[in-house]
């Protein structure tokens, strides 16, 4: 008797899993079949409950609320492409972790893929949705346990790197020997390469000013205060510090392996961990800033690189142009240790001699 019952229930469970597997389908559609250099790579993911009863899908098996698992299989010219997004260790799911799909209902989400997969190399990509089978859900609900897959779709991507390039975490370019990215889409990578060029130009210009001008003019006076020595590097303590700091900032731009992380959604411009060179985390205000000029993307990178202990070890005594100008007038010893003062000297907007 007992063994007969066990056998029956096993058959029922299997039958259930198969029915649930077919109940929710996944449809994948690229927004554009070909994307240009500097464009994001977007696909529309639609999950549809094709059954006549409500179905429940674990949220993290769907892109609803953000991709938190490798939900796609991406290939470039036939070879698998690395997933660069997050992998989460979770507690066993509860009922609250399930997304409810009414009979015949669909949910659609647009996903940007190039920040999640290494897609900055030019090539013919194929993308398939694939979430492997999951454990059975709580007994009270009809939970989808089978794998969720879509048919593959094709997307041609014109990337920053030429077709056939070896994909590498620190993909080098001619302009930036050590520039690498984390969680940055193709469009963001393109814009960041320009921002690094702008910051590097500001650092080189600042370095040239400090090394060649004598005496320093209004530009130095405005952002770092009265000059306390001739030609900085030789005598005055403060002007020597400014000269050494800009030499180090220029060196960091030109020779160090800079990594930029785009995962920050906070409202400010950017942040760094001063003891962890050379990773810069760019945030919301950064993307709203101009390339050059006051509080620009280029200047923000000058500001952030100045913070690293191995570069100039600056602090944030004050923020903003009027505060930085006030600091130069009243406390030049702190101005020469203030990150925004380096940024504004570098941006030099409006231009001063």
N-terminal to C-terminal alpha carbon distance within the chain? 97
Nearer to Zn ion, 113 or 196 (CB): 196
DSSP string across 279-294: EEEE-HHHHTS-SSST
262 Cβ contact partners less than 8 Å away, ≥ 6 residues apart: 115, 181, 182, 183, 184, 185, 188, 192, 282
Please report whether residue 235 would count as binding Zn ion according to CB under 5 A. Answer: no
* Range in contact with Zn ion (rule: CB under 5 A) among 134-142, 180-188, 249-257, 332-340: 332-340
- CA 11/CA 18 separation, integer angstroms: 11
The site map against Zn ion for 252-281 (x = CB under 5 A) is ------------------------------
- Nearest distance in Å: CB 304, Zn ion: 7
The answer to whether 116 touches 162, Cβ cutoff 8 Å, is: no
The site map against Zn ion for 281-320 (x = CB under 5 A) is -----------------------------------x----
- Nearest distance in Å: CB 303, Zn ion: 6
Total interface residues for Zn ion by CB under 5 A: 2
Cα–Cα distance list, 289 to 175, 189, 319 (Å) = 22, 16, 16
Strands (E) across 4-97 are located at 24-30, 34-35, 42-49, 55-58, 72-76, 79-80
**Which residues within the stretch 10-49 sit at the binding site for Zn ion (CB under 5 A)?**
none
**Which residues within the stretch 64-93 sit at the binding site for Zn ion (CB under 5 A)?**
none
- Nearest distance in Å: CB 306, Zn ion: 8
Nearer to Zn ion, 160 or 307 (CB): 307
Helices (H), the chain: 2-23, 186-212, 218-224, 237-255, 284-287, 297-307, 321-330, 332-335, 339-347
Nearer to Zn ion, 197 or 337 (CB): 337
Nearer to Zn ion, 118 or 304 (CB): 304
- Nearest distance in Å: CB 285, Zn ion: 12
**Which residues within the stretch 178-217 sit at the binding site for Zn ion (CB under 5 A)?**
none
Nearer to Zn ion, 74 or 282 (CB): 282
Nearer to Zn ion, 20 or 339 (CB): 339
- CA 275/CA 298 separation, integer angstroms: 22
The answer to whether 287 touches 300, Cβ cutoff 8 Å, is: no
- Annotated active-site residue 347? The verdict is no
> Choosing from 112, 147, 304, 347, which is the catalytic residue?
304
**Which residues within the stretch 121-180 sit at the binding site for Zn ion (CB under 5 A)?**
none
Residue choice 339, 341, 342, 343 for contact with Zn ion (CB under 5 A): 339
- Nearest distance in Å: CB 256, Zn ion: 18
Exposed/middle/buried for residue 235 (C-beta within 10 Å: 0-12, 13-18, 19+): exposed
Residue among 294, 293, 286 nearest 266 (CA): 286
- Nearest distance in Å: CB 136, Zn ion: 50
- CA 229/CA 29 separation, integer angstroms: 65
Which residues belong to the active site?
Answer: 304
The residue ranges that bind Zn ion (CB under 5 A) are 316, 339
């Amino acid at each position: 008797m007992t063994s007969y019952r066990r056998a029956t229930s096993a058959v029922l469970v299997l039958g259930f899993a198969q029915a649930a597997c077919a109940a929710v389908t996944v449809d994948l559609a690229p927004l554009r079949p070909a994307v240009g250099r500097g464009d994001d790579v977007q696909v529309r993911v639609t999950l549809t409950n094709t059954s006549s009863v409500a179905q429940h899908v674990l949220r993290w098996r769907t892109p609803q609320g953000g991709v938190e698992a490798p939900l796609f299989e991406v290939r470039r010219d036939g070879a698998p492409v690395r997933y660069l997004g997050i992998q989460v260790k979770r507690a066993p799911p509860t009922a609250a972790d399930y997304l409810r799909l009414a009979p015949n209902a669909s949910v659609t989400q647009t996903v940007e893929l190039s920040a999640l997969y290494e897609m900055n190399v030019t090539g013919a990509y194929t993308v398939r949705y694939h979430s492997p089978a999951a454990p059975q859900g709580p007994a009270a609900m009809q939970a989808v346990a089978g794998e969720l897959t879509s048919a593959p779709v094709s997307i041609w991507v014109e990337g920053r790197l030429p077709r056939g390039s070896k994909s590498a975490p620190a993909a080098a370019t001619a302009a930036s020997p050590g520039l690498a990215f984390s969680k940055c889409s193709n469009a963001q990578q393109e814009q960041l390469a320009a921002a690094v060029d702008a910051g590097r130009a500001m650092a080189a210009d600042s370095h040239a000013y400090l090394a060649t001008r004598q005496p320093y003019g209004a530009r130095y006076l405005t952002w770092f205060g009265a000059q306390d020595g001739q030609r900085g590097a030789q005598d005055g303590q403060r002007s020597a510090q400014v000269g050494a700091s800009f030499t180090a900032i220029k060196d960091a731009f030109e020779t160090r392996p800079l990594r930029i992380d785009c995962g920050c959604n906070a409202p400010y411009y950017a942040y760094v961990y001063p003891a962890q060179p050379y990773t810069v985390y760019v945030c919301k205000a950064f993307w709203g800033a101009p390339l050059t000029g006051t509080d620009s993307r280029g200047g923000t990178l000058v500001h952030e690189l100045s913070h690293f202990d191995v570069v100039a070890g600056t602090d944030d005594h004050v923020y903003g142009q009027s505060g930085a100008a006030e600091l130069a007038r009243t406390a030049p010893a702190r101005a020469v240790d203030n990150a925004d003062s380096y940024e504004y000297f570098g941006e030099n907007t409006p231009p001063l001699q």
